[in-house]
Amino acid sequence: MRPEGAAAIVAGGASGLGEATTRALHDRGAAITIADLNEEKGEALAAELGERAAFVRCDVTDEDQVRAAVEQAATDGELRISVCCAGVGWAERTASKRGPHQLMPFETVIRINLIGTFNVLRFAAAAMNDNEPLEDGERGVCVNTASIAAFDGQIGQIAYSASKGGIVGMTLPAARDLSSRGIRVVTIAPGTFDTPLLGALPQEARDELGRAIPFPQRLGQPAEFAALAVHIVENQMLNGETIRLDGALRMPPR
Any catalytic annotation for residue 160?
A: yes
3-state class of 148 per DSSP?
A: helix
Name residue 145's beta-bridge partners: 188
Name residue 11's beta-bridge partners: 35, 84
Amino acid at 127: A
Listed residue (248, 234, 233) closest to 189, CA to CA: 248
Is residue 146 within 8 Å of 228, Cβ to Cβ? no
Identified catalytic residue from 123, 160, 193, 225: 160
Is residue 35 within 8 Å of 58, Cβ to Cβ? yes
102 secondary structure, DSSP code: P
- The strand pair at 140-145 and 183-190 is best described as parallel
Integer angstrom CA distances of residue 19 from 23, 59, 173: 6, 16, 28
- The strand pair at 95-96 and 99-100 is best described as antiparallel
C-alpha 132: how far from its chain's center? 25
Query: What number of other Cβ atoms are within 10 A of residue 199's Cβ?
Result: 9
Query: For residue 87, which phi and psi values (nearest 5 degrees)?
Result: 180, 160
Listed residue (56, 50, 43, 49) closest to 10, CA to CA: 56
Q: How far apart are CA 21 and CA 23, in angstroms?
A: 5
Q: Which residues are catalytic?
A: 160
